[in-house]
């Protein structure tokens, strides 16, 4: 995996850390988004991903490791 760069890649949901394309989170339906995040995580199989379990991720997708 390439190292996470610091370029803005969009917004992230503060509730579930999912990378959001648009104005609201597809999972939470919230508009509680942050543009200040770091670390890029792609979850393909949440049931078999330790990181996904730790972060309470239930759906495949792109997530941020840290959201401020
Ligand atoms: Zn969310």
Q: Supply φ then ψ for residue 15, to 5 degrees.
A: -85, -45
Spatial distance between the Cα atoms of 10 and 45, rounded to a whole number of angstroms: 23
Distance 54 CA to ligand 1 centre (A): 16
Predicted confidence (pLDDT) per residue in 9-34, tens digit: 689 999 999 999 899 999 999 999 99
Contact 39, 17 (CB under 8 A): no
Q: Which two tokens stand for residue 2?
A: 């390439």
**How many CB atoms sit inside 10 A of residue 8's CB?**
9
Ligand 1 centre and the CA of 45: distance in Å? 18
Determine contact, residues 63/57, Cβ cutoff 8 Å. yes
What CATH topology corresponds to 11-67? Rubrerythrin, domain 2 (2.20.28)
> How far is the centre of ligand 1, averaged over its atoms, from the C-alpha of 47 (Å)?
18
How many residues are listed for the chain in this entry? 68
> Domain residues of the chain, as ranges?
11-67
Higher pLDDT, 2 or 25: 25
Residue 2 has pLDDT above 60, yes or no: no
Q: Which two tokens stand for residue 31?
A: 């508009």
Could you tell me the pLDDT band of residue 6, with boundaries at 50, 70 and 90? Answer: low
pLDDT confidence band for 1 (50 / 70 / 90) = low
């Amino acid at each position: 995996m390439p190292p996470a760069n610091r370029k803005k890649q969009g917004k992230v949901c503060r509730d579930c850390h999912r990378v959001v394309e648009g104005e609201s989170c597809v999972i939470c339906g919230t508009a509680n988004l942050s543009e200040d995040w770091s670390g890029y995580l792609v979850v393909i199989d949440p049931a078999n991903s330790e990181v996904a379990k730790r972060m309470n991720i239930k759906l495949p997708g792109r997530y941020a490791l840290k959201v401020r």
